[in-house]
Structure 1
Amino acid sequence: MDVQTIEPCCAPVMQAALSAEEAEQLAAAFKLLADPIRLRLLSLIANAPDGEACVCDLTAPLDRSQPTISHHLTALTSAGLLEREQRGRWAYFRVAADRVEVLREALALR
């Protein structure tokens, strides 16, 4: 999957007409989040104690294998929605709040 990093790109959709490029950027980001596993991962990590979660703690709640979870985490990290920190043999993830805010603000009604 070709994942673009989510960057601040445009005025809120309901406030101004998007250019073709802006629409492409936002559509790619929302397409990435249109997967239920990715949405649940984002939610689980955002609501984890200390705001971070180890990949080892994410397989059971989603009833998926570690390689499947890692695939989805890589996509979210590549897009900039998650930050990854390696600690020994385990990777820990936290939500990149500023990048998630970009998507929230794109849909804001101002």
Structure 2
Amino acid sequence: MTFIEQYGLVPYKPWQLSRYAREGSCELCGITSDEVAARYAEDGYRSAACSTLLNFDHCHAHGWIRGRLCTACNTDLGTAVRVGWLDRSPKRDAFLTHLGKCPDCPPA
């Protein structure tokens, strides 16, 4: 279930994020928080607990939470948009669908 299906359209307010579950799966690649924890443990990280939490990706222009993303997808999406690589990204279609979850942004 996506974040929006579970909670509806929610503004990004850092002081209220504890209301929402960070566990689940990345809405772009599908990796679960348990799988992320296992990868961190395999790599020898001592504290995998904070790394298993998924990020609340949000529209920086309008403030709506678009969904939960793993750190890798969140970084890839931000870099693709910021640097202008969106059209060259192999995740282009998934990124555009995800970015379109903000109702105040123009369609891509």
| TM-score (norm: length of structure 1) | 0.32
Greater strand content: 1
| TM-score (norm: length of structure 2) | 0.32
Higher RCO (CA 8 Å, separation ≥ 6 residues): 1
